[in-house]
Amino acid sequence: MTEDEAVRLGEEFGVMVGSVDEEIRKELKLQEAKGVAVFEVIGNSRADYAGIKVRSVIKEIDKTEIRNILDFGLAIKKAMKECNFTLGTYEPADPGDPVGWGVNFHFVGCKRD
């Protein structure tokens, strides 16, 4: 698995992603540079239907911890072969919510045409 392949698999799933580096960690005010940041969600994709949000950080796919883009690539490749899987994100709360960030689990089902 290469980073380019992982990014391509992310696009196939419906997200533009990158590893959380120190710059992204600071921007999103995260405690550690770990996970995969979502930069864009492609409309009408499995990610879009599952409710994945821009600026969220993917932390797990089907109970597999995601520490970097390579972990993401391996896990999403395996998960997309399945009809249904879960994806755990750490994401900003709605504007105006004083709590801030929270963990969210997304059910990813089969894409219907």
Q: What share of the chain is helix, strand, coil (3-state, %, to 5)?
A: 30, 30, 40
Pair of tokens at residue 84: 């249904």
Q: What tens digit of pLDDT does each residue of 1-47 get?
A: 999 999 999 999 999 999 999 998 888 878 888 999 999 999 999 99
**Alpha carbon distance 104, 56 (integer Å):** 10
Question: Among candidates 77, 71, 97, which has minimal Cα distance to 19?
Answer: 71
CATH of domain 3-108: 2.30.42.10
Domain ranges for the chain: 3-108
Q: What tens digit of pLDDT does each residue of 75-94 get?
A: 999 999 988 999 999 986 65
